[in-house]
């Protein structure tokens, strides 16, 4: 009914029924558009029917317990209230109860004297709630459980039993996939826990972090033949904490979380004291946040795995805490060592591996900051400062603030507190004067008690001195006995030393034998490799070529052995990443050598060789390429694969054609012109010689 969506319903109890909900009877007032449109009376069933008919924005009550009397009854009733309806307790403001007439007077409403009739009370509650008075009680958490399971629990008989089970598990798996796709499409945050079985999924649980109404049109309750879907809004665990006493100062927490079907949660404070160690099924992020915020303020969320699980990262984001991930996943031995030492020190119990993993993650995170925290505590003690809550300063270390700045903050805070204490002391001076006489009498009594205690301690001191003298005599006697025994055992000790030396020599020999055995294995492997290379040469898979070092000495040697290198020979130039001298100063000598003898160059595969090979081919037209698969034979030879030699030949032919194409070609006309020019120069030269001969003759 669209016209009723802004309605407010006020409820007052007419008759209660203890634990029997069928005996409850209520006065009901329905307010629309600021006016009370209808008042009715009826049972709990009548009230719930009206709530679903009008779907009010608010349900106003004087006291929440009037709806059902007990927490158990309230839990049953609250599940039937429409999800969009919020409950308002009008008489609750700032965690304090107020009389309904007091609230009405504050709102400027005139009411009758004496006890109000239930119908007038219900109407007054609706009006005040509509005006914004009271406290809205969070009925449900922003969390919904979606349970997907098999539709039937029975089994078919005979050979069809396995088929029935597989069909239902497959149906559950399809439904889980469909719900997951819908939630992802709407970008709704959730956690998913699955219990798999043969042929599909046995049961799945979605923990959806959204209001129930956000899931309208996305998922619905289903009771099918093969699959069932149940949607369960989660009632706020703090719903019944209507008035909370003032909490003590909460501690800052380092939290370890081990997610899963059975999850573990552990929290320690910044003094390393245990705060919370718990595990259980369906211990999801929402439950974890509720538990943690009840006991402290989470500042670090830690995991024992690398990379961290998504649920741990999401939990850290929910509580706005740092995420700690170890450099590598903690081993079982490391976790056992951390937890065993901690449980012995603090006398706490870890009941299962989930709690162990969570606690180990928290302790590993604490160990990263432990040294800084201990330095801070030691520095504060050395200065002589007394700090009530050092943890609020330790939290700054987690935010990487310098230790010196934190010490200065502590000193400034202590000085400010001391000035406040001095002011308080002056104001309390008059009280101290009045109590001085009483304190004087108490002091005299304490003096008498202390005198008696001193006498007792003096007598005890004399007894202890006598005991010390006895122990000194016994010590001297035992010392002399020890000297005698030591003299007798000296020969045996020398024998034991000789035996120890022989044992150590035997250990050294064994270690040397192991080293020789490893060297023998390495030599066998090298021999096997050499045999394979020889066989490859015999088959023609490899070609033996000359190896030249790219160092200046290697280039000089190659120039000196010019007569030893054959024309058109393949040379392996050993260029390494750290030796670039060839490229810097000796490239010209090597290029001249290659051009004069028509050499082909192979180089090892690396960045420097790639640059050199490109320069040789593109600039100097020298065949060159880099090779990945090659073997060194001594310091002068290298085995190259046959395909590399073939590829070098191909590059040589390509460069040869390229040089021929780029060489200038002589046409017939150019040749005739060249001959004519030659003849003219020849005639001129002969004429000049003849003239010169005549002059010399005359």
User: Which pLDDT tens digit goes with each residue over 653-690?
Assistant: 888 888 777 766 556 676 677 777 777 877 877 777 66
Within a domain: residue 512?
A: no
Cβ pair 547, 630 in contact under 8 A: no
Could you tell me how many residues make up the chain?
698
Query: Quick one: pLDDT at residue 432?
Result: 40
Domain termination site, one of 332, 361, 381: 381
Query: Quick one: pLDDT at residue 245?
Result: 38
Q: What string of DSSP letters covers 175-204?
A: HHHHHHHHHHHTT--EEEEEEEETTEEEEE
- What CATH number does residue 21 fall under? 3.30.420.10
Q: What is the mean pLDDT for each group of 10 consecutive residues in the chain (698 residues)?
A: 66 80 89 89 92 92 82 81 86 78 81 77 92 82 86 57 79 90 90 82 88 82 86 72 47 91 91 90 79 84 94 89 93 92 90 94 90 80 73 76 78 67 45 46 63 72 80 78 68 70 86 88 84 81 83 53 70 71 64 83 86 84 88 84 88 83 64 74 74 58
Within a domain: residue 458?
A: no
Within a domain: residue 579?
A: yes
Could you tell me the residue range of the domain that residue 56 belongs to? 2-137
Co-location of 172 and 217 in the same domain: yes
- What CATH number does residue 264 fall under? 3.30.420
267-319 pLDDT, tens digit per residue, is: 999 888 999 999 987 688 878 887 887 788 899 999 999 999 999 999 998 88
Within a domain: residue 428?
A: no
Task: Give the single-character DSSP code of 629.
Answer: S
d(CA 28, CA 13): 9
Query: Quick one: pLDDT at residue 431?
Result: 37
Co-location of 258 and 340 in the same domain: yes
Domain termination site, one of 318, 348, 381: 381
Co-location of 118 and 157 in the same domain: no
Co-location of 262 and 229 in the same domain: no
Co-location of 211 and 269 in the same domain: no
Query: Quick one: pLDDT at residue 312?
Result: 93
Co-location of 126 and 195 in the same domain: no
Residue 522 main-chain phi, psi, to 5 deg: -65, -40
Co-location of 123 and 105 in the same domain: yes
Q: Which residues contact 229 (CB under 8 A, 6 or more apart)?
A: 146, 147, 148, 175, 179, 219, 220, 221, 222
Co-location of 374 and 292 in the same domain: yes
- What CATH number does residue 215 fall under? 3.30.70
Please, what sign has the CA dihedral across residues 494, 498, 503, 508? positive
Within a domain: residue 445?
A: no
Query: Quick one: pLDDT at residue 429?
Result: 44
Within a domain: residue 181?
A: yes
Co-location of 255 and 337 in the same domain: yes
Query: Quick one: pLDDT at residue 661?
Result: 74
3-state secondary structure 233-254: EEECCCCCCCCCCCCCCCEEEE
Distance of CA 168 to the CA centre of its chain: 37
Within a domain: residue 471?
A: no
Within a domain: residue 13?
A: yes
Domain termination site, one of 235, 267, 300: 235
| Encoded tokens for 440 | 């004087």
Q: How many separate domains does the chain show? A: 4
pTM for the complete prediction?
0.40
Residue 309 main-chain phi, psi, to 5 deg: -65, 150
Co-location of 113 and 182 in the same domain: no
């Amino acid at each position: 009914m669209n016209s009723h969506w802004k309605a407010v319903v006020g409820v007052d109890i007419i008759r209660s029924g203890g634990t029997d909900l069928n005996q409850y009877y209520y006065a009901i007032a329905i307010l629309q558009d600021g006016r009370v449109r209808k008042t009715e009376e009826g049972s709990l069933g009548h009230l719930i029917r009206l709530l679903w008919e009008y779907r009010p924005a608010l349900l106003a009550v004087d006291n929440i317990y009037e709806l059902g009397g007990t927490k158990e009854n309230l839990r049953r009733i609250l599940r039937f209230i429409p999800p969009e309806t919020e409950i308002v307790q009008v008489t609750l403001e700032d965690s304090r109860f107020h009389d309904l007439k007091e609230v009405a007077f504050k709102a400027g409403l005139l009411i009758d004297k004496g006890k109000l009739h239930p119908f007038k009370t219900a109407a007054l509650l609706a009006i005040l709630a509509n005006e914004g008075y009271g406290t809205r009680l969070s009925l449900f958490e922003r969390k919904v459980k979606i349970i997907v399971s098999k539709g039937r629990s029975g089994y078919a008989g005979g050979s069809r039993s396995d088929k029935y089970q597989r069909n239902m598990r497959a149906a559950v798996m399809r439904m889980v996939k469909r719900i997951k796709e819908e939630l992802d499409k709407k970008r709704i945050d959730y956690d998913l826990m699955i219990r798999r079985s043969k042929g599909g999924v046995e049961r799945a649980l979605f923990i959806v972090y959204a209001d129930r109404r956000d899931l309208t049109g996305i998922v619905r309750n289903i009771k099918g033949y093969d699959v069932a879907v149940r949607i369960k809004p989660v009632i706020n665990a703090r719903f019944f904490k209507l008035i909370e006493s003032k909490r003590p100062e909460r501690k800052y927490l380092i939290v370890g979380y081990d997610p899963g079907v059975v999850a573990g949660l552990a929290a320690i404070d910044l003094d390393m004291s245990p705060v919370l160690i718990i595990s259980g099924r369906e211990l999801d992020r929402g439950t974890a946040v509720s538990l943690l915020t009840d006991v402290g303020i989470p500042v670090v969320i830690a995991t024992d795995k690398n990379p961290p699980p998504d649920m741990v990262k999401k939990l850290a984001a929910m509580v706005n805490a740092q995420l700690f991930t170890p450099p590598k996943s903690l081993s079982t031995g490391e976790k056992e060592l951390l937890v065993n030492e901690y449980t012995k020190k603090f006398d706490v119990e870890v009941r299962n591996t989930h709690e162990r993993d969570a606690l180990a993650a928290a302790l590993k995170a604490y160990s990263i900051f432990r040294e800084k925290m201990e330095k801070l505590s030691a520095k504060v003690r050395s200065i002589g400062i007394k700090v009530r809550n050092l943890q609020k300063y330790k939290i700054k270390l987690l935010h990487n603030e310098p230790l010196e700045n934190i010490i200065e903050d502590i000193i400034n805070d202590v000085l400010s507190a001391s000035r406040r204490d001095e002011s308080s002391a002056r104001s309390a001076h008059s009280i101290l004067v009045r109590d001085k006489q009483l304190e004087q009498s108490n002091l005299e009594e304490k003096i008498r008690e202390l005198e008696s205690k001193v006498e007792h301690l003096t007598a005890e001191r004399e007894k202890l001195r006598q005991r010390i003298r006895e122990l000194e005599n016994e010590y001297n006697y035992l010392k002399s006995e020890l000297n005698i025994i030591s003299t007798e055992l000296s020969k045996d000790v020398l024998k034991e030393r000789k035996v120890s030396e022989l044992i150590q020599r035997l250990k050294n020999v064994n270690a040397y034998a192991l080293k020789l055995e490893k060297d023998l294995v390495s030599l066998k492997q090298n021999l096997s490799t050499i045999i394979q290379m020889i066989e490859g040469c015999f088959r023609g898979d490899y070609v033996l070529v000359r190896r030249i070092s790219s160092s200046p000495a290697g280039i000089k040697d190659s120039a000196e052995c010019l007569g030893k290198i054959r024309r058109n020979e393949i040379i392996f130039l050993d260029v390494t990443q750290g030796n670039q001298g060839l490229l810097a100063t000796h490239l010209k000598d090597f290029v001249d050598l290659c051009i004069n003898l028509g050499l082909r160059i192979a180089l090892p595969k690396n960045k420097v060789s790639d640059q050199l090979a490109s320069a040789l081919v593109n600039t100097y037209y020298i065949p060159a390429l880099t090779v990945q698969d090659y073997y060194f034979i001594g310091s002068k030879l290298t085995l190259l694969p046959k395909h590399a030699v073939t590829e070098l030949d191909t590059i040589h032919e390509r460069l040869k054609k390229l040089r021929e194409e780029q060489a200038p070609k002589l046409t017939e006309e150019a040749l005739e012109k060249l001959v004519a020019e030659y003849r003219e120069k020849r005639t001129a030269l002969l004429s000049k010689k003849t003239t010169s001969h005549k002059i010399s003759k005359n």
